[in-house]
Amino acid sequence: MIRLPAQAIEALSKLRGWAVSFEAEHGRSPTLEECSEYCQVKPERLQEYLVHSNDCGSLDTKGNSESDDGTSLVDLITDGVHGMDTIDSAFNSEVLRNYMAHLSDLDHEIITKFYGLDDFIPKTYTEISQEMGICRERARQRCHKAMNKLRLLSKQTKELC
């Protein structure tokens, strides 16, 4: 399986809706050049997206065979303990709270919002930056720096590892 970047998924989604209306209006399928112009993507790049889009699938996709009980692929490949449950318990632990106390208030807030800690819904860097009045790249940099600091603290104490 191949994971497509967000911009590829966005371009393909935009293209699917447009291609139907183009075909209805012009009576033919759009060419690669017309598609790339509409999506504002180079033709070579769009061709790569189209080739690899068939190789992609979601781990949350339910099985569709008659003998299948609707189990998703992620349920089949886990070892019984869902990875997010483990992560949730680590995030809610006292150890993590102690580490987070070493961060500045701004970094603490960015990490909390980005990863959805303390019952927050995870947010994108764009959403965080708009709320906090900083640029998106600065939010990303602060988050990266804070995560490195948390990793260092974790390695020093070996509590989360």
Q: What is the mean pLDDT of residues 131-149?
A: 93
Identify whether residues 53 and 102 lie together within a single domain: no
43 and 99 part of one domain: no
99 in the same domain as 54: no
- When pLDDT is averaged across residues 133-153 and rounded to a whole number, the result is 92
Residue 40 Ramachandran class (φ > 0 left, ψ -120 to 50 alpha, else beta)? left
Is the torsion defined by CA of 131, 137, 140, 146 positive or negative?
negative
- 90 and 130 share a domain? yes
Token pair for 96: 């993590």
Residue-range definition of the domain harbouring residue 44: 6-58
Say what the pLDDT of residue 79 is.
56
| 52 vs 84: which has the higher pLDDT | 52
What residues pair up with 113 in beta bridges, in sequence order?
none
User: Does 23 map to a domain?
Assistant: yes
With respect to residue 1, please indicate whether it lies within any of the assigned structural domains: no
Q: Which amino acid is at 143?
A: C
Structurally, the chain folds into a number of domains equal to 2
68 within a domain of the structure (yes/no): no
Region 18-22: mean pLDDT is 89
- Specify the pTM: 0.45
Residue 122 resides in a domain: yes
Same domain, 135 and 96: yes
In a domain, 75, yes or no: no
Write the pLDDT tens digit of every residue in 27-52: 999 999 999 899 888 999 888 888 87
**Contact 140/126 with Cβ under 8 angstroms?**
no
